[in-house]
Structure 1
């Protein structure tokens, strides 16, 4: 019976294992302070620091925005899972909509022909409208703000993190080669070490340029984030205006009911007593 085994390149495996060990040794010696290390230039350090700050704050902004849009942590987790498996989110009633249903049902039981029953039904219908406004606000905010920021974190920032990791590996390889050159005792060994050093230096320089280009791109990303922020604020303005319109309309409808004048006098009396 023929068994097809994967074709392993033994030389590559040995080389990779050797590189890993060399990096571990180099990193350990650096932490112990027994060897020197190549420091990144100031411009690169500033870019890297800005990238770290951008990642940290973007993650926090996304979490904070989502906690405002969907206060229930369990619902946020559920929505996240459905997004990952690319399925539609479950249609759940908001607290406003639960209140609306109870108001309408209570109004029906109290009597649709009575002022209080009518008022409850009208208030419940208004709460339903507010609930729909809330659903629209959450959906639009996700599209215009949180989703683009999450895409940035899952795309650009992950790529930057990966390339920075590769660069650090190249830096460790470079410094390990520098140490081998210093420790070479024979002319042949020194020539071999210097050849490895030139290769390591070239790979480090190339990866450094790649990483710098990606880090520089964060400025462009932040310009996009600014547009997303404007869109989110506009969505909020529209949402609160819609809610205000609904409540003003409810006030006008309640004012027509015979109970409403008494309710207004009662409200003023309660507020006066509270201040006293």
Structure 2
């Protein structure tokens, strides 16, 4: 039967293998040169396996995302998709999304926008790095794995089988078994053929160091270009942020002005819900009061020939006049005090480029430095 020679050969190899492992029988020893090439080939195979794995981990650190990409790649066959979210891109998108929600054009918001866009640019460069490393480094290593190394390992495995067959027949013949010369010669020739094929394959693999060094050069150059581009982006970003910082430092920042509950149209806790006026009524009443106070101040300041005795105060905060008759001023300016209309409002004047301007202003925005003659101030800031 046709399969009997093959079966007999497999039995011979199994017999010799067990004799060497258990019985202590020595097989044919290969030369030192072959064993050294074998050792270096095994190291090369281990190195390539680790390089491919660790380089992918370096480019795409998230293991969960890598697993998802591998699954998608199997479904989509050989189609390459950019579905790995780069950390730089995720950070940039987050900064931009929140910056837009501020809804204003300030140096800080512009700095956020510049930072977010820069990180998105670095993410795009990272994608380009992945493509370059895959094409010039990972693909050649994968080809080395799947072609050259696999072929060498195939010849080595075949050599091992033919050596076992040759040693088994040689041992059996030495023990008196009927092994004809032709059979021994065929086994020896096949053993020699596999030995040379395996040796030639390992020799060629180990002599191909120029190509392997070129692959390392491609990896290093891709990383150099990536970090150089990122460094250029970050340098430009640092310059822009520095300019925005200087712009922000040169701006006049507003200060918080303490408010009373009455200014927020919140009724007193002593008032009942039935007697509490609505916001509309409060606003109308406040506007009328301001107009009335402004008219009073205008009438008082319009009396000709009447010398007015006054006090003085210093502005604690900026005050923006919002109604007719109010007097606006800046922090640190000195104002004249003519009268205190009530506990919340002063009447006074301020020297300006167009002459003296008069009006009313809040008592809690100023600190009295000289009291109004013959009048006692009631402002908390005027003590």
- After TM superposition, the score normalised by the length of structure 2 is 0.61
CA distance in structure 1 between the partners assigned to 2:68 and 2:209 by the alignment: 29
Maintained 8 Å contact 2:69/2:84: no
CA distance in structure 1 between the partners assigned to 2:124 and 2:54 by the alignment: 22
The structural deviation recorded for 1:230 is 0.7
1:198 partnered with 2:185 = yes
**Kindly tell me: are residues 20 and 260 of structure 1, through their superposed partners in 2, closer, same or farther at Cα, counting changes over 3 Å?**
farther
Q: Is the radius of gyration larger for structure 1 or structure 2?
A: 2
CA distance in structure 1 between the partners assigned to 2:21 and 2:191 by the alignment: 21
The structural deviation recorded for 1:15 is 1.5
Q: Identify the residue that residue 125 of structure 1 maps to in structure 2.
A: 117
CA distance in structure 2 between the partners assigned to 1:219 and 1:140 by the alignment: 25
| Alignment equivalent of 2:138, drawn from 146, 167, 171 | 146
**Kindly tell me: are residues 47 and 80 of structure 1, through their superposed partners in 2, closer, same or farther at Cα, counting changes over 3 Å?**
farther
Maintained 8 Å contact 1:173/1:200: yes
**Matched ranges for 1:122-271 at <5 A:** 122-184=114-176, 189-190=178-179, 192=180, 194-258=181-245
**Matched ranges for 1:3-14 at <5 A:** 10-11=1-2, 13-14=3-4
**Kindly tell me: are residues 154 and 260 of structure 1, through their superposed partners in 2, closer, same or farther at Cα, counting changes over 3 Å?**
farther
CA distance in structure 1 between the partners assigned to 2:84 and 2:199 by the alignment: 46
**Kindly tell me: are residues 90 and 231 of structure 1, through their superposed partners in 2, closer, same or farther at Cα, counting changes over 3 Å?**
closer
- After TM superposition, the score normalised by the length of structure 1 is 0.83
1:32 partnered with 2:19 = no
After TM superposition, the structure 1 stretch with the greater mean CA deviation from structure 2, 244-253 or 69-78, is 69-78
1:116 partnered with 2:103 = no
The structural deviation recorded for 1:77 is 3.6
Question: Equivalent residue of 1:205, what SS?
Answer: helix
CA distance in structure 2 between the partners assigned to 1:146 and 1:68 by the alignment: 12
The structural deviation recorded for 1:90 is 4.2
Q: How many residues align?
A: 247
CA distance in structure 2 between the partners assigned to 1:235 and 1:72 by the alignment: 21
After TM superposition, the structure 1 stretch with the greater mean CA deviation from structure 2, 29-38 or 88-97, is 88-97
1:224-274 deviation per Cα after TM superposition (whole angstroms, max 9, x unaligned): 110011111111111111001101111121122146775xxxxxxxxxxxx
**Kindly tell me: are residues 29 and 249 of structure 1, through their superposed partners in 2, closer, same or farther at Cα, counting changes over 3 Å?**
same
Question: Equivalent residue of 2:47, what SS?
Answer: helix
Maintained 8 Å contact 1:112/1:118: no
Question: Equivalent residue of 1:214, what SS?
Answer: helix
Larger % of helix: which? 1
CA distance in structure 2 between the partners assigned to 1:250 and 1:211 by the alignment: 57
Q: Identify the residue that residue 38 of structure 2 maps to in structure 1.
A: 48
1:184-222 deviation per Cα after TM superposition (whole angstroms, max 9, x unaligned): 26xxx25x2x33111111110111111111010112333
Maintained 8 Å contact 2:166/2:188: yes
Question: Equivalent residue of 1:37, what SS?
Answer: coil
Larger % of strand: which? 2
CA distance in structure 2 between the partners assigned to 1:258 and 1:47 by the alignment: 63
**Kindly tell me: are residues 147 and 79 of structure 1, through their superposed partners in 2, closer, same or farther at Cα, counting changes over 3 Å?**
farther
Question: Equivalent residue of 1:217, what SS?
Answer: helix
Question: Equivalent residue of 1:149, what SS?
Answer: helix
Structure 1's unaligned 5+ residue stretches are 1-9, 263-276
After TM superposition, the structure 1 stretch with the greater mean CA deviation from structure 2, 13-22 or 231-240, is 13-22
